[in-house]
Amino acid sequence: METLNLLFNEIYKILFLLIPVLVTVAMIVWLDRRVWALVQKRRGPNVVGPFGLLQSLADALKYIFKEIIIPASSNKVIFILAPIITMTLALVAWAVIPFSENLVLSDINVGILYLFAVSSLGVYGIIMGGWASNSKYPFLGAIRSAAQMVSYEVSIGVIIINVLLCVGSLNLTDIVLAQQNTWFVLPLFPMFVIFFISALAETNRPPFDLPEAEAELVAGYQTEYSGMMYAMFWLGEYANILLMCAMGSILFLGGWLSPFDIEILSFIPAPFWLIFKILFLFILFALVKAIVPRYRYDQLMKLGWKIFLPFSLIWVVLTAGYLLYFNLLPSQL
């Protein structure tokens, strides 16, 4: 009986986290389209509900009632598994995101490694979908995105090392608490910029959306998908974007902390600060989508390997040297 109670308690907690995340993902799609439209002096979705807020719900309803077409020559098991994996991985990572000092589903020791591992597994959904479709464009899209995501993960990993040098712990709560005096965005500003751009590439957002470049590859790895399976890819993609925004706000923007520890601002509860920061980063993502043209593939690879990787490696040496010279290395032991 005791274990059963414990189990139900955990399930309640998980639902309490997952349902807001899913609703936010639906809302954020609306926000994305709206920002995109406003930059281009259009109106964007504004018909369904107040300000078009229910547009995503209408879209989801449409996807649910559409027929799911599975191509005859596809590899059916993997074809069906691909969107499920994308969606699951995008949601499973939220378990370690701390919304305030005590409000975290699982406060594990290696939280940042877990986040990094889950985000690097995200490539499998795309690669499986592209391969199982057994068709040219999805396959080309999948190959492109595999190369792209593996390349940019490397520089994200090095950037994370930069932050970890300043913190001395892999725990996400410790990372946020280490930023009580200054957010890491100030001392590590170049790393924040590189993290932001690499996050764009990691989530296949414009200007790096080559895996689904419609001018060349129809819709990339999503070409053969329809109905609910397409919607799951789509939800997973946006959940991943939100996750990257959350990761950016925890690593660089001080997570749930209010700016500069000002007393007056602390009447806003801690989780809301994290949500504000995630939304801020997301609006930046949406703006980038609207104003930057798509990269060419060789330029994308050159940027990742020849510019970002050496630069962030040099920055690791600089950070370590600075911390060592001024005796600022975190000593938790």
Partner 1 sequence: MVAHAIFFYFFSIIAIISAIMVTASRNTVHSVFFLILDFISISCLFIMIGAEFLGMIMLIVYVGAVAVLFLFVVMMLNVAQQKNQWFGSSKSSSHIPIGLLVSLIIFFELIIVVGGWQYKPDLLNSSTITVSENISNTHSLGNVLYTDYIHLFQISGMILLVAMIGAIVLTFRERAGLKRQSYINQISRERKDGIQLVDVPSKKGVKIDV
- Cis ω for the linkage preceding 207 (within 30 of 0): yes
Which one, of 6, 8, 18, 32, lies nearest residue 289 by Cα?
32
* Whole-number Å distance between alpha carbons of 34 and 254: 27
Residues of this chain, 167-196, that bind partner 1 according to CB under 8 A: 170
Applying CB under 8 A, which of residues 127, 175, 188, 257 lies at the interface with partner 1?
Answer: 127
Give the nearest distance from C-beta 66 to partner 1 in angstroms: 28
* Whole-number Å distance between alpha carbons of 74 and 71: 5
**∠ CA 133-138-142, rounded to 5°:** 110
Binding of residue 85 to partner 1 (CB under 8 A): no
| 30 phi/psi in degrees, rounded to 5 | -60, -45
Applying CB under 8 A, which of residues 30, 94, 137, 139 lies at the interface with partner 1?
Answer: 139
Binding of residue 135 to partner 1 (CB under 8 A): no
**Residue placing its CB nearer to partner 1 in the complex, 140 or 286:** 140
Q: 110, 163 in Cβ contact below 8 A?
A: no
Give 295's Cβ-side CA count (13 Å radius). Answer: 22
Binding of residue 105 to partner 1 (CB under 8 A): no
Q: Which stretch binds partner 1 (CB under 8 A): 17-25, 135-143, 310-318, 323-331?
A: 135-143
Binding of residue 146 to partner 1 (CB under 8 A): yes
**Residue placing its CB nearer to partner 1 in the complex, 124 or 322:** 124
Binding of residue 131 to partner 1 (CB under 8 A): yes
Residues in the chain: 333
Per the listing, tokens 């990572």 go with 93
Applying CB under 8 A, which of residues 14, 58, 124, 226 lies at the interface with partner 1?
Answer: 124
Q: 208, 200 in Cβ contact below 8 A?
A: yes
Binding of residue 109 to partner 1 (CB under 8 A): yes
Binding of residue 116 to partner 1 (CB under 8 A): yes
**Residue ranges that bind partner 1, judged by CB under 8 A:** 78, 108-110, 113-114, 116-117, 120-121, 123-124, 127-128, 131, 139, 142-143, 146-147, 149-150, 153, 157, 170, 298, 332-333
